[in-house]
Amino acid sequence: MTQSRKHIGGVLAVAFGALTATPARAASLQAVSNWNGGVSGLPSDVSMYIYVPDKVATNPPILTLIHYCGGTASAVFGQASGGGIVKAADQYGFIMVVPSSGRCWDVVSSKTRTRDGGGDTHAIVQMVRYAVTKYQANADRVYATGDSSGGMTTQLLLGLYPDIFKAGSSMAGMPAGCGTTTATAGGYDGACAGGTVTHTPQEWGDIVRKMDPSYTGHRARVQLFHGDADTTIRYANFNESIKEWSNVLGLSTTPTSTQSGLTLGTHQATRQSWKNACGYTVLDGFTSAGGDHGPSDALFLSQYVIPFLGLDKTGAVDPEIAQCGAGGAGGAGGASGVGGASTNGGTTANAGGRTSTGGTATTLGGAPATGGRSSIGGASATAGNSAGGATSASGGRTATGGSVANGGTSAIGGSPVGGSNSALGGSSSSTVTVAGGRLGNGGSNPSPIGGSVVTANGGGYVNGGAGVGGSAPAVSGTSAGSANGPDNSGCSCSVRTKSSPSALIGLALGSMLILQRRRKQ
């Protein structure tokens, strides 16, 4: 009798313990509200999403993931998942900031080409600032990547905010500042897309330096991917980008090394790499032989992107800076365009340049670097302390300081690990499918996610829009079909169901009845 009661109690305890136990929830892409921090004038159609892995690193780095023309946060997140970027975030614990607009990102207007000018670039940087504070992220380890329109935006962000971004990986993009016009509408310049805009390395470098003429600190390293058969954003942009960034980084246009015989997706590829004076690779270019726009079969490949950005490394500072120091690049012309800026203890700059003691960035709340800038912040500093007897230049920026709030790591939705992802905003427990793949120029391309094929009905890009007569893939809902326009992407997603409470209660009651019958016998 006593033994039977004990057994019944044990069964009940197990059953009700299962009912009351909190189910494990895997990290997922989440919408963020109130990210603008009270900054007015930012684009009203831009929203913020974030991915915080279940095991986030202490003081984690940030990877900003930027979608293609007409894309959404959920679509580019699906691409990044297919390339292994999301799995890398789970492994190394970095946070992903994912802006979303459903249209082409503006890279040509005066607003977006001005630091904190109220354009798309300002909105994205504001998301980064929010993440640094909210999630105790590392302001000295912020990176960016994107494809197509996102690749263009990545390069523009590196030029506009060199004090914030330490490196970026651009796929099928174009040089920062490329454009024959500065239209107020969103989008990009058609002449640049067609590959007809060309400059000398010096001219390209000056375009970047004029975006922030007083800056003399560390310059972001740049990784480029492009298909030489891309008819949407012509391959000529790859070579123009190399000219631009080799000048900004003080490199020769001739690569340090060239590697052939690689494979990117289904295509053969060549890799060109440039190392700086201390032997660190700071410019990295991949050409997909016969590759289309994207290239669509080689997007966000973690085996190349993660090591270049240094996201597989731990440490309080960027690995390049840890190895080489934070001295400013000595690119031809320097910040002033004449003679270059002096570095590491120099007391004067040549012919109008600025003094600098390395241009190191201060961290949040830290003292202003001599002649440098903070990674995150706005207020300018007056002449700071000298280093080695050299006076600091005014105009350096300090961080806004202050304490950071504890970041939440819980996520809503299904797990991106193991091949299943919850659809953003989806509420059904059944499989939610989003049309996969990227659309090429009026044709069809294999999806990089899940193997499904989507046929394009629109072909090439349209300046300032999501496509001809089409609409962007929905962020929420059950599915997105074939979209008319330049790009379309997504992921095959599923949401796992939970065990029914009534089933557990039934199990417990059934066990009680069985034990009572045995006791009567």
Show pLDDT as tens, one digit a residue, over the chain (521 residues). 444 444 445 544 444 444 444 445 589 999 999 999 889 999 999 999 999 999 999 999 999 999 999 999 999 999 999 999 999 999 999 999 999 999 999 999 999 999 999 999 999 999 999 999 999 999 999 999 999 999 999 999 999 999 999 999 999 999 999 987 655 556 889 999 999 999 999 999 999 999 999 999 999 999 999 999 999 999 999 999 999 999 999 999 999 999 999 999 999 999 999 999 999 999 999 999 999 999 999 999 999 999 999 999 999 999 999 999 987 664 444 433 333 333 333 333 333 333 333 333 333 333 333 334 444 544 333 333 333 333 333 333 433 333 333 333 333 333 333 333 333 333 333 333 333 333 333 333 333 333 333 333 333 333 333 333 333 333 333 333 333 334 433 333 333 333 444 444 444 444 454 445 444 44
Q: Which of 122, 123, 170 is nearest to 143 (CA)?
A: 170
**What is this structure's pTM?**
0.66
Q: Which amino acid is at 269?
A: A
Of 498, 494, 439, 501, the residue nearest 472 (C-alpha) = 439
Q: Which CATH class is domain 25-521?
A: alpha beta
Q: Which residues are catalytic?
A: 148
Q: Rounded CA gap, 495 and 473, in Å?
A: 19
pLDDT value of position 37: 86
β-bridge partners, 146: 66, 170
CA nearest neighbour of 24 among 49, 58, 54, 50? 54
pLDDT at residue 63, as a whole number: 98
3-state secondary structure 406-444: CCCCCCCCCCCHHHCCCCCCCCCCCCEECCCCCCCCCCE
Rounded distance between C-alpha atoms, residue 89 and residue 53, angstroms: 7
pLDDT given for residue 187 in this prediction: 85
